[in-house]
Amino acid sequence: MLSQIKSVVEAISPRLVEIRRHIHSHPELSGQEYKTAAYVAGVLSSCGLRVQELVGKTGVVAELPGGEDSRILAIRADMDGLPIAERVDLPFASTQSGIMHACGHDVHTTVGLGVAMVLAQLNLPLPGTTRFLFQPAEETAQGARWMIEDGVMEGVSAVLGLHVYPSVPARAVGIRYGALTAAADDLEIVIVGESGHGGRPHEAIDAIWIASQVVTTLQQAISRTQNPLHPIVLTIGQIQGGRAPNVIADTVRLLGTVRSLHPETRNHLPQWIESVVAGVCQAYGAKYEIHYRRGVPSVLNDPTLTELTARCASEALGNEYLQIIHEPSLGAEDFSLYLEHAPGTMFRLGVGFTDRAINYPLHHPKFEVDESAIVAGVLTMAYTSYRYWQLPDVS
C-alpha cells in the first residue's frame, strides 16, 4: 500500500505546490478565513468528499465514509495567517498588505487537502470514516473551541495533526513522545493604591512601585518556590498605569501569559500567583484584583498514536528522516483542545532549507518554507491514517 500511496503523492505533487502557493498568496486573519475556506471546500468537493462549510464559524469539515468500523479518524489542519507584513521576495508572496502565512498554516492546509486527495484517489474501502477538520483562528486560540462547539469531535476516536518547524530540515519529520507544547493561560493583575503628590510619597500608596515589586517577586518566587523540573514561564507583556509624571499612580494593570507543562503545576498556579500578589500588596497597603483565564492546555501526545506516526514516517520517508524531539516547546497550540475529546498526536513537519545558514523562525516576516516538505507531510499523514485502522479498537 505504501508504494501506491507514494505514486499518488508523486503524481499530485505539482498540484499541491500550486495549492500551497495560492493559499500563501491569499492569507486571511483569524476568524476571517472566508476565501480560504471556500477554496478548501472547492478542492474537497472536487475529490468527491462530503463537505460542510461554516463549521466553527469559518471552518470546513469533510468526510470520507468508510465501512463497518464505527471509529472516526480526524485529521486537523489550521488555515489562518498572521498580522505580519511579509518580507520575502517570492513570486507567490502575500497579496494582502500586512497579512502573512508566517506560521506555515498554508502548508498545514495543503497537507490536509493532499491527504484527502490521496485517500479519495486510492478509492480504498477504508474500515471507518476519515473526517477532515479545517479550522479557523488557531493563532487566537479560538478556532478549535468553535469547531468543537459545533460538534466536530462527536464520535471521533483519534485525531492527527502536524505543525511545520523550520529547525527540522525539509523532508524530515520530528516526533515527540509526551508533551509537545505548553499550557498557555492569560493573567491580568490590577493593583489599586492611592493617588498623591509626586513629591509626598508617604501620603500616597504608589501603585507603580508596588506593581514593579509584584513583577519582580513573581519572577524570583518561581525560581525559589516552584519545582524547577516542572517549568513555568510567566511573562508580563503589558503594563498600563499613571496619568502624569508628578502624580503618584493609583491604579496599574499588568497583563501577561503563563506557560506550564504539567497539569498539576497548571492547576495550582492561580492560587500561587494570588498568594504572591496578596503578600506584596498587603505589605504596602494596596488592594488587588486578579483575573486568571485558562487558555489552551498542553498538547500531550498519545503514546500509541505517536509510535504509529513514527513507524509510518520512518517507512515512508526513510529512517534517516525521522527525528525524535527531546524537548517540548513552551509555545501553545489549540490542537490540545481536541485531545480533551479523543487521543491524538501532533508531529513536527520539517520545512528548513538544508543549504541555508539561517532558517527564520515561525512568526518572522522572513519565514520561508522548503516546499519539498509538502510531499513528506502528505506521505506521513496519509500512510499513518491508512495504518490507523490496523490498530486494535480500544473504544
**What are the residues binding Ni ion (CB under 5 A)?**
103
For 83, other C-beta atoms within 10 Å of its C-beta total 12
Selected catalytic residue, list 86, 138, 206, 250: 138
Q: Least distance to Ni ion from the beta carbon of 31, Å? A: 15
CA distance 102 to 364: 6
Q: Closest distance between Ni ion and the C-beta of residue 355, in Å?
A: 25
Nearer CB in complex with Ni ion: 269/369 = 369
Whether 387 contacts 312, CB under 8 Å? yes
Q: Report residue 155 as a C-alpha cell.
A: 464520535
80 is catalytic: yes
16 Cβ contact list (under 8 Å, min separation 6): 110, 113, 114, 374, 375, 378
CB nearer to Ni ion: pick between 42 and 365: 365
What's the CA gap between 145 and 127, in Å, rounded? 28
Rounded to the nearest whole angstrom, what is the least distance from the CB of residue 139 to Ni ion in the complex?
Answer: 7
Handedness of CA 189, 193, 195, 197 (dihedral sign): negative
CB 58 within 8 A of CB 144: no
- By beta-carbon proximity to Ni ion, the closer residue of 103 and 277 is 103
Query: Ramachandran region of residue 363, left (φ > 0), alpha (ψ -120 to 50) or beta?
Result: left
For residues 49 and 179, which CB has a smaller minimum distance to Ni ion in the complex?
Answer: 179
DSSP β-bridge partners for residue 233: 259
Nearest distance, CB of residue 141 and Ni ion, angstroms: 11
State the Cα–Cα distance between residues 196 and 11, nearest whole angstrom. 74
Question: By beta-carbon distance, which residue lies closest to Ni ion?
Answer: 103
- Active site (annotated) includes residue 138: yes
Q: Which of 28, 80, 185, 250 is catalytic?
A: 80
H/E run at residue 241: strand 232-241
Determine phi and psi for 272, rounding to 5 degrees: -65, -45
Residue (272 or 360) nearer to Ni ion, CB: 360
Minimum CB–partner distance for residue 177 and Ni ion (Å)? 21
Q: Which three three-digit cell numbers place residue 249?
A: 499612580
Separation of alpha carbons 33 and 49, rounded Å: 21
Complex with Ni ion: residue 78 or 206, whichever CB lies closer: 78
Largest interatomic CA distance in the chain:
81
From the list 214, 227, 228, 232, the residue with the least C-alpha distance to 275 is: 214
Min dist CB 149 to Ni ion, Å, is 21
Show which residues are catalytic.
80, 138
